[in-house]
Structure 1
């Protein structure tokens, strides 16, 4: 199929700090706009107005939404497409899917988590290609985890929320955590706000050998070991400002993961971690392209 024959798709990536609307054919991005994520009314209106202007110029075939969560993803749920109890002020119960469905009635509208979208994109075009079971983890404003099995994001009663797992803490680390629901869950320990609280300021100014990074690497490594033991992924892809932004953190986390596994699993020694746990290949495009793939799936389901 020629690129011009591919359907024109709109992707909505709604993150905790930024919101991006993307126009694309297949993986080729044609246009894009972004805003800070503020209130639901303002953010959804800005994105919707931009999308509507694109659609009037050149009609889109479907919309895909990749949003922070937790999300209601069961189509039989009266709250389908709404955000659940989120730490993001003002967004609990926001009807994200409904806003865009009402904007362009009759158009297929798909929705999933932002991390599930990024996982799909990394599986199709990025670091998890040819993997039947793979995980995408973003470590940034929060800690989100998307799990894909046979090219489909895992859903159950809701969707994986492994960013709120409780882990074994480093001996002597008494930091209480910042998660308003769980305190010292993994998100409460290693997200951007958690690092700022632990550092007493901007963690980016801390040197690479600061003890804080040892604790953070240990916490991330413990989470990785739990995911390996429970889901047996062929690839774990790490993204996000913390996950990719701190030099040497990923290498330390791999080593601590291997330590946690303690030689129990074949092919999971420290030397195997570099190919099992990898940085995102699509960079900042993983989220927007994930939203495009969600639109593609919605269009296929409608047909």
Structure 2
């Protein structure tokens, strides 16, 4: 049986795993995301010692995902200055195995479609709301890339009255990530989200921003389902608020069976937190299949 390596390269931690093509995770290790000089050689050695036949990498971005581009596999203009322009993919080529490469949120979307809450669907948005906000998008069975890849966490939103000055994005003064990610919640209220669970005003405002962003995704991508993950979404009281406000925003303009069953349309992640790892496994499986074809 093939052994597929999975590297979920996030902004906070690197999750290294080995799994089967069927999505069974056999081994796992986590290390903090330091500079490339501090962790890349260690990761290459780990996969080499675990006898993997292929590797799937889901990397934090922005990153190059077009195989025909000179930027393919490189980390681009990230706030993590030590990683800027680092050729992440090439560092693993000495393993001599097929490698699939995409963004961390795209592989999470792939994991949900392959193993989780979106089986049988081909047009899906996976949104993670945590330290940042990122969206993985699959359209007609293909992960969306285009000129780079979706940066849907940075769409511009309308600042709610009285909330001026609370956007924490260094690039934009009213973007989704800057207004609704975990650091913005802490900046606005002086505490981390999990310390504010009993403050309904916190989640009323948060759900307003989430619903505005998600309504835009509904209109632009026409997904069959939207999956919400990440640390902020552990505040599950957000889900009914977001669903209600998305329908209010759409105001009856779209009439579909999916929206008529809103509780099944905007859903929690279905992979017990492993959607990124599982998506990397599927990415590696596809790379192995292509190499054998």
Please classify the TM superposition score into its range, dividing by the shorter chain length.
over 0.9
Q: Which runs of 5+ in 1 are unaligned?
A: none
Deviates more, 1:109-118 or 1:264-273: 264-273
C-alpha displacement at 1:270, in angstroms? 7.2
Aligned residues of 1:69 and 1:113 also touching (Cα < 8 A): yes
C-alpha displacement at 1:39, in angstroms? 1.2
Corresponding residue for residue 178 of structure 1: 168
State the SS of the aligned residue for 2:191.
Answer: coil
Corresponding residue for residue 92 of structure 1: 84
Which of 240, 256, 267 matches 1:278? 267
Asked if 1:116 corresponds to 2:106, the answer is yes
**Whole-angstrom CA distance in 2 between matches of 1:131 and 1:121:** 12
State the SS of the aligned residue for 1:284.
Answer: coil
Aligned residues of 1:115 and 1:287 also touching (Cα < 8 A): yes
Which of 279, 283, 290 matches 1:294? 283
**C-alpha spacing 1:293/1:211, structure 2 compared with 1 (3 Å):** same
Deviates more, 1:211-220 or 1:194-203: 194-203
Corresponding residue for residue 260 of structure 1: 249
Corresponding residue for residue 196 of structure 2: 206
Asked if 1:147 corresponds to 2:137, the answer is yes
Aligned residues of 2:56 and 2:281 also touching (Cα < 8 A): yes
Aligned residues of 1:255 and 1:270 also touching (Cα < 8 A): no
**Whole-angstrom CA distance in 2 between matches of 1:169 and 1:25:** 46
**Whole-angstrom CA distance in 2 between matches of 1:207 and 1:302:** 49
C-alpha displacement at 1:168, in angstroms? 2.1
**Whole-angstrom CA distance in 2 between matches of 1:167 and 1:199:** 19
Deviation per residue, 1:269-297 (Å, 9 max, x gap): 97532111100010221111111111111
**Whole-angstrom CA distance in 1 between matches of 2:68 and 2:37:** 25
Corresponding residue for residue 17 of structure 1: 12
| TM value normalised by structure 1 | 0.91
Corresponding residue for residue 128 of structure 1: 118
Corresponding residue for residue 45 of structure 2: 49
Deviation per residue, 1:18-73 (Å, 9 max, x gap): 11111011201111111111112212222222112112xxxx22111011111111
Aligned residues: 291
**C-alpha spacing 1:269/1:53, structure 2 compared with 1 (3 Å):** closer
**Whole-angstrom CA distance in 2 between matches of 1:302 and 1:286:** 24
Asked if 1:236 corresponds to 2:226, the answer is yes
Aligned residues of 1:190 and 1:219 also touching (Cα < 8 A): yes
Runs of 4+ in 1 over 4 A off after TM superposition: 268-271
**Whole-angstrom CA distance in 1 between matches of 2:257 and 2:61:** 31
